[in-house]
């Protein structure tokens, strides 16, 4: 589990395709400080299992499912990536509950600069629309954010200077794909209601 509070902006060192899967190597320094093989690290919001951990890098195997559902399969060497270690029992939950399980890919439409802060617009696919609510939580590229404006096919988020500085938002270009994870509570509520309706 994660909080969506990015700890470090790392970069892709290499991606080695292995059939329909891949091994990705990430250059990092902060998240590797106390990481061990088998620990969970979120990369652009995708929960991965760290392997071959070194002081300045770690590797992770990425399955076919993850490559298809997220943007990891489209990354190139040198690409900036948002990194976060899994929470511990003593971690402050500064964002919201983020599982690192990407629901869909959205599209970065653009950002309006307000002299230090930004309004970012993200298009979302129809299948996750029912989980998005005004002033609700959403994870974009693993970043815990609050929906400030909600339209039929895109939402807006207000990004403060610190978030813009320490994440890959400042590197995004219009039409770039981004990873989206809806609030897990909404998905559980939907499942409970659907199960009750079906059992009547």
Predicted pLDDT of residue 143 = 97
Whether residue 99 is contained in a domain is answered as no
Indicate whether 52 and 124 sit together in one domain: no
* Beta bridge pairs of residue 156: 121, 149
Rounded Cα–Cα distance for residues 182 and 189 (Å) = 12
Whether residue 167 is contained in a domain is answered as yes
Range of the domain at 108: 104-190
Predicted pLDDT of residue 58 = 98
Binned at pLDDT 50, 70 and 90, residue 97 comes out as confident
Q: What is the DSSP string of 147-170?
A: EEEE-SSEEEEEE-HHHHHHSGGG
Indicate whether 178 and 108 sit together in one domain: yes
Predicted pLDDT of residue 200 = 74
**Helices vs strands, H then E, count in the chain:** 3, 13
Q: What is the pLDDT of residues 63-86, one digit of tens each?
A: 999 999 999 999 999 999 999 999
Whether residue 121 is contained in a domain is answered as yes
Q: What is the pLDDT of residues 147-178, one digit of tens each?
A: 999 999 999 999 999 999 999 999 999 999 99
Q: What is the pLDDT of residues 2-54, one digit of tens each?
A: 999 999 999 999 999 989 999 999 999 999 999 999 999 999 999 999 999 99
CATH number of the CATH domain containing 121: 2.40.30.20
Indicate whether 113 and 64 sit together in one domain: no
Structure tokens at 9: 């902006």
Indicate whether 109 and 184 sit together in one domain: yes
Residue from 48, 64, 63, 65 nearest 12 by CA: 48
Whether residue 91 is contained in a domain is answered as no
* Beta bridge pairs of residue 98: 2
Q: What is the DSSP string of 5-58?
A: ---EEEEEEEEEEETTEEEEEEE-SSTTSS--TT-EEEETTEEEE-EEEETTEE
Indicate whether 186 and 109 sit together in one domain: yes
Whether residue 198 is contained in a domain is answered as no
Predicted pLDDT of residue 199 = 80
Binned at pLDDT 50, 70 and 90, residue 179 comes out as very high
Indicate whether 110 and 79 sit together in one domain: no
Predicted pLDDT of residue 60 = 97
- Please tell me the total count of domains within the chain: 2
Whether residue 195 is contained in a domain is answered as no
Indicate whether 79 and 108 sit together in one domain: no
Predicted pLDDT of residue 197 = 86
Between 92 and 144, name the one with better pLDDT: 144
- Kindly report the length of the chain: 200
Q: What is the pLDDT of residues 113-148, one digit of tens each?
A: 999 899 999 999 999 999 999 999 999 999 999 999
Indicate whether 127 and 161 sit together in one domain: yes
């Amino acid at each position: 589990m994660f909080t969506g509070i990015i700890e470090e902006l790392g970069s892709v060192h290499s991606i080695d395709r292995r059939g329909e899967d891949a091994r990705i190597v990430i250059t990092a320094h902060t998240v590797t400080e106390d990481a061990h093989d088998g620990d969970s690290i979120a990369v652009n919001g995708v929960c991965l299992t760290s392997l071959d951990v070194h002081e300045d890098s770690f590797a992770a195997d990425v399955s076919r499912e993850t490559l298809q559902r997220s943007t990891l399969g489209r990354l190139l060497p040198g690409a900036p990536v948002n990194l976060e270690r899994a929470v511990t029992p003593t971690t402050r939950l500064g964002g919201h509950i983020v599982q690192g399980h990407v629901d869909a890919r959205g599209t970065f439409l653009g950002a309006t600069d307000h002299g230090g802060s930004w309004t970012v617009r993200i298009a979302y696919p129809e299948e996750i629309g029912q989980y998005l609510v005004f002033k609700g939580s959403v994870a974009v590229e693993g970043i815990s954010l609050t929906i400030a404006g909600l339209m039929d096919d895109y939402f807006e988020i207000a990004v403060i200077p610190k978030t813009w500085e320490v994440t890959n938002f400042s590197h995004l270009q219009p039409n770039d794909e981004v990873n989206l994870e809806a609030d897990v509570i909404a998905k559980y509520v939907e499942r409970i209601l659907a199960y009750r309706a079906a059992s009547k």
